[in-house]
Chains A and B, each alone.
Chain A
Amino acid sequence: MSKNILMVAPSFDTASKISFEWYKLARRALSKTDHKITVLEKEKATRENFEKEIKNADIFAFWDHGNVDILASQKGRDPSLVDKENDHLLKDKEVWTMACLAGKELGKDIIDKGGNSFQGYKMSFVFINAPIVKNIFGVCANEGFLNRMNGKSIVESELNQRNKFKKLIISSLLIPGYGLQIAILLAYDLLGLVYYTKDGYE
């Protein structure tokens, strides 16, 4: 079934330039679907534009920095894109993000205010900047969202994302020169992965 998707990806420092590449991976994957997609990239990733566009979306996906209580805009935290002042706009919507830490407080607040679901991380989403391997982290980060966009349920998407993490953790051990660090850091990211729904977040 076709959904209205809002994809937001600021890009203003080295880390967010990398997460922007992961956004582009997801964007390319969605080009094969019939979802109606609205994108707010880089300078367009503002709080004002988010608040305008989210009204028409069923699903909100975000790639960039976060913290316990915010998702960053192109201007960072001042002002942020989403915080506890405007997260009521996510009522009845699904939220998918690789942002650090937002699962700790903001994700729960979104559910408390009627959000349909929140997939994110309660700890930092850590990754390395080695050219030939950095997208492995993005593949894991995108997996749940892309499963969902391809018609899987949220429960199935979570299961498939956790399995993707585990498969890549094991297979990355074989990557010469980088394998162990990738496996360990992906394992840390998996530890922080959370799926919250209206059924709860414990």
Chain B
Amino acid sequence: MRDYLKEILEELEDLVPEFGNKPYLFVNDESYTLKQVIKNLKDEGKNEIKDIFLKGINILRGIIDE
């Protein structure tokens, strides 16, 4: 099974030179820099950003399987 979390981290890290410290991801009325997004995704603990990506990956898998 594809490791989407690993792939998304690779994709995001390639964008750090351009977007690293700029507001990048918007969630409700919060914004996260790209570096914050990467840090949250790497975090072993549960957090809002990781939860969003994990839920999105689950839906994406379902759509690809359709």
Contacts and interface: CB of A to CB of B under 8 A. Distances in A.
Interface residues of B, number: 28
Contacts of B29: 13, 15, 65, 67, 100
Interface string A146-170: 0000000000000000000010011
A169 B56 CA distance: 11
B8 A180 contact: yes
A30 interface: no
A100 B52 CA distance: 13
Q: Give the secondary structure class of B's interface.
A: helix
Contacts of A183: 56, 60
Contacts, number: 86
Contacts of A188: 52-53, 55-56, 59
Given A130-B19, A170-B63, A184 B28 contact: no
Nearest to B52: A188
A90 B24 CA distance: 34
A170 B25 contact: no
B46 to A, nearest CB: 16
Interface of A: 13-15, 18, 65, 67, 100-101, 124, 126-130, 166, 169-170, 177-181, 183-188, 190-191
Interface of B: 4, 7-8, 11-12, 14-15, 19, 22-29, 31, 52-53, 55-60, 63-64, 66
